[in-house]
Amino acid sequence: MKPSPSAKDQALWGGRFAAAPDQLVQDYTKSVQYDWRLWRADIFGSLAHARMLREIGVLTVSEFRAIERGLREIFAEIEAGVFQWDAAREDVHMNIEAALTAKTPAGAKLHTGRSRNDQVATDLRLWVKNSIAADGDAIRALQRALVALARKYQQVILPGYTHLQRAQPVYFAHHLLAYVEMLARDAGRLADCQRRADVLPLGAGALAGSTIPLRRERVAKLLGFAAVTPNSLDAVSDRDFIVEYAAASALLAVHLSRLAEDLVLWSSAEFNFIRIGDAFTTGSSLMPQKKNPDVAELARGKAGRVIGNLVALLTLVKGLPMSYNRDLQEDKERLFDTVDTVRATLTVLAAMLGDTRVNAAACARAVADPLLLATDVADWLVNQGVPFRRAHEVVGKAVAISEQRRVPLDKLPLTVWKKLHPACNASLKKIFNVSAALDRRQMTGAPGRQQVAAQLRRWEKILP
């Protein structure tokens, strides 16, 4: 026979059930092992709710003070690591409420006008808002690391690539600043998500509000929310802000993966453009000569994990009927894992970049390939009045001849160029100068010397 609920359990859960939940059910449904992380938000939300209940007369002054004192004591206990989480209490909310009720009988009044449905929605929104603020700090730290490395090696030129084939020369700084721009968009998406999370659901109750004259706008002001939810059904069932957060984080993780991929390639012997410090690489258990970019590889791999969390959340909510359903308990582990994974990746990449050196000599050798300036030759012909498609054909034929003769493109005799097109003259040879080629790129967004210097100054001003 299943044990009967204790008086304390009945006070928390109500008198509907004649037997306590089966142990299998308790083990299957408990969430305190991970949702304890919401404890700060839960206590702040309860303090604001209690103050509002006092203001509308549900709580007396002495009851409110007892609740406030009890919650602050619980806060201190959790912060000190001495609070005893009870799996039988199922979740963070019931644990804190049970502890409060043990401290003061007034704790039994705290849940007036609210449900765990609107309570957890409030906790999650508070938690996400704070998390996004911390993410912004981590993104800016990585941006600063990228800008600092770009500034340090501002004069280094390396090949830019398309299809992983050498294409045209760019400054190393210009390449890194591309990631700074990506991260800025990521920060903007997270800020947009934060604005949509900034709505208070507390007061929606289980799904239909309350007959008690709750002052929702007052609670919103106390908790720093910009507004209150206008629809009680949507308030308790909405997890768009978590899905949106996961989506923005997934794209951020993809950008970090792309950065990591470049670092992996550049640190290989085939490229040898950079050398990552020993503190951020590992050796081989078998091959003593190996120095592996494991940190970058893990950053690349963890993007799949974050993308998986997004897919799991979308799958979770796609078939739910209105309004709250217990399925939504599954949102938290995916949310927490996304936050932990992305934040850790941002932090370790920023530190690793600070311990990375550029092999300028290897970059110079790679960028000395005259084929990188083939497009510049075509542009030069256009400036001589040759239609671009014809210029493209001329340079393409010149490249084929240089390969056949095994002569670098810049060493091809002028007579060959003149046979390909009469517009070719001795000035064409001046095109094969990498620094001059980059100096010619002065339009906004181009990798020219002045433009790159201006963008570095811009980001150093934005990211002091």
Residue 312 domain-assigned (yes or no): yes
Strand partners, 282: 292
Same domain, yes or no: 149 and 167: yes
Q: Which domain holds residue 393?
A: 369-462
| Percent of the chain residues past pLDDT 90, beyond the cut | 91
Spatial separation of the C-alpha atoms in residues 205 and 233, rounded to whole Å: 9
Same domain, yes or no: 54 and 150: no
Residue 419 domain-assigned (yes or no): yes
Whether 49 is a known active-site residue: answer no
Same domain, yes or no: 216 and 357: yes
Check residue 10 and give its pLDDT: 54
Q: Give the CATH number, domain containing residue 28.
A: 1.10.275.10
In this predicted model, what pLDDT tens digit does every residue of 303-330 receive, in sequence order?
999 999 999 999 999 999 999 999 999 9
Q: Give the CATH number, domain containing residue 251.
A: 1.20.200.10
Same domain, yes or no: 43 and 158: no
Same domain, yes or no: 289 and 395: no
Question: Which of the residues 163, 232, 267, 323 is marked catalytic?
Answer: 163
Same domain, yes or no: 348 and 399: no
Q: What is the pTM of this model?
A: 0.93
* Alpha-helical regions (H) of 354-448: 360-367, 374-383, 388-405, 414-420, 434-439
Check residue 132 and give its pLDDT: 98
Residue 2 domain-assigned (yes or no): no
Give the residue from 365, 385, 404 where a domain finishes.
365
Check residue 359 and give its pLDDT: 98
At 40, list the tokens.
């700060």
- Whether 32 and 47 have beta carbons less than 8 Å apart is answered as no
Burial of residue 28 (number of CB atoms within 10 Å: 0-12, 13-18, 19+): exposed
Same domain, yes or no: 279 and 415: no
Answer yes or no: is pLDDT of 1 > 50. no
Number of structural domains, the chain? 3
Answer yes or no: is pLDDT of 358 > 80. yes
Residue 152 domain-assigned (yes or no): yes
Residue 303 domain-assigned (yes or no): yes
Q: In the structure, what pLDDT confidence band is assigned to residue 4 with cuts at 50, 70 and 90?
A: low
Pairing of strands 199-200, 227-228: parallel
Whether 163 is a known active-site residue: answer yes
Residue 241 domain-assigned (yes or no): yes
Same domain, yes or no: 89 and 71: yes
In this predicted model, what pLDDT tens digit does every residue of 418-436 receive, in sequence order?
999 999 999 999 999 999 9
Question: Which of the residues 4, 62, 284, 435 is marked catalytic?
Answer: 284
* Alpha-helical regions (H) of 224-330: 232-237, 240-266, 294-317
**Orientation angle between helical segments 92-103 and 61-80, nearest 10 degrees:** 120
Same domain, yes or no: 331 and 203: yes
Distances (CA, A) of 60 to 54, 108, 198: 6, 13, 30
Count CB neighbours of 208 within 10 A: 12
Check residue 14 and give its pLDDT: 61
In this predicted model, what pLDDT tens digit does every residue of 171-203 receive, in sequence order?
999 999 999 999 999 999 999 999 999 999 999
Check residue 18 and give its pLDDT: 72
Give the residue from 92, 112, 132 where a domain finishes.
112
